[in-house]
Amino acid sequence: MLLGMTTTTAKIQQSRICHPGSQLPIVRRLVEDWTLLCRRDENIKRCNGWGLPGKPVKNLDDVLVRAGFNTGFADSKGDRYLLLLVECAKRDELAARIVLQRILPPLLSVGYRRGRIVQGGASEAITDTLSHAWELIRTYPIERRPNKVASNLVRDAEYFAFVRNSRRQTLKFELKHSPDLERFAEPSRERTAKDEIDKVLIDAEKLGLLPKYLEILRRLADGESYESIAKHHGVAVRTVRTWRHDGIIELRERMLCEA
């Protein structure tokens, strides 16, 4: 994940943005690695050779800013720039490393939050999250998921690091006699969290899940906020949360009945 840390005679440039700080070795190492990457003139030249929009950058931090670093998931301009950067990441490890740094703050938030409830604590949780994020960055399905790139990557990293295995165990227990067990237990390595959710919702529609619940679950799976859905329907946010809760319960019951 970490690129080579050789030095050059380039003048050290002060970071344009505030990177995450932590006492955890894995986080310190990432930030130190980033600082060294920013010192290398060859990396700036390499980055400017990707043909990304805007004037040539003078520091890798400039790339992070253009890709929406610390501007929130609603930054559409940054999201479009990040998509182009992810496309470069398929063939260039430096681009992948820049994308990882771009989404590092929310990835660390996931790791700290999950670290309170998983064995190994925050350090192991962050390591697992970053490991999955790196693979997801290099294999991101650009054509199928061109929007909300940062949130998709962070959500998928959390899913594969902490949710998928427990979900498999639950499905193995509840659907042990179901012909669909193999599909859930052995998903393709290239499948994303969104792919699996979409497949479940397709099955749910076939099983007769109420259209209202299908709509809510699909919109939430696509990254739409509770607030946006509530405004669309003219209801309170807690009502949307109740619909989601009821929809999941009905979906689970219908799947169990089908099994």
Average pLDDT, the chain: 79
58 in a domain, yes or no?
yes
The CATH number linked to 179 is 1.10.10
7 in a domain, yes or no?
no
Domain boundaries, position 188:
175-258
**146 and 193 housed in the same domain:** no
For 31-66, the pLDDT digits (tens) are 899 999 998 999 999 999 999 999 999 999 999 999
16 in a domain, yes or no?
no
Separation of alpha carbons 76 and 20, rounded Å: 23
For 59-112, the pLDDT digits (tens) are 999 999 999 987 665 678 999 999 999 999 999 999 999 999 999 999 999 999
**71 and 127 housed in the same domain:** yes
Residue 202 has a pLDDT of 80
pTM, 2 dp:
0.62
Which residue, 100, 129, 159, sits at the end of a domain?
159
Which residue, 127, 159, 191, sits at the end of a domain?
159
Residue 8, phi-psi category: left (phi > 0), alpha (psi -120 to 50), beta (remainder): beta
How many domains does the chain divide into?
A: 2
**29 and 154 housed in the same domain:** yes
108 in a domain, yes or no?
yes
Which residue, 159, 194, 213, sits at the end of a domain?
159
**133 and 203 housed in the same domain:** no
49 in a domain, yes or no?
yes
Amino acid at position 13, single letter: Q
**30 and 63 housed in the same domain:** yes
* More confident of the two residues 191 and 223: 223
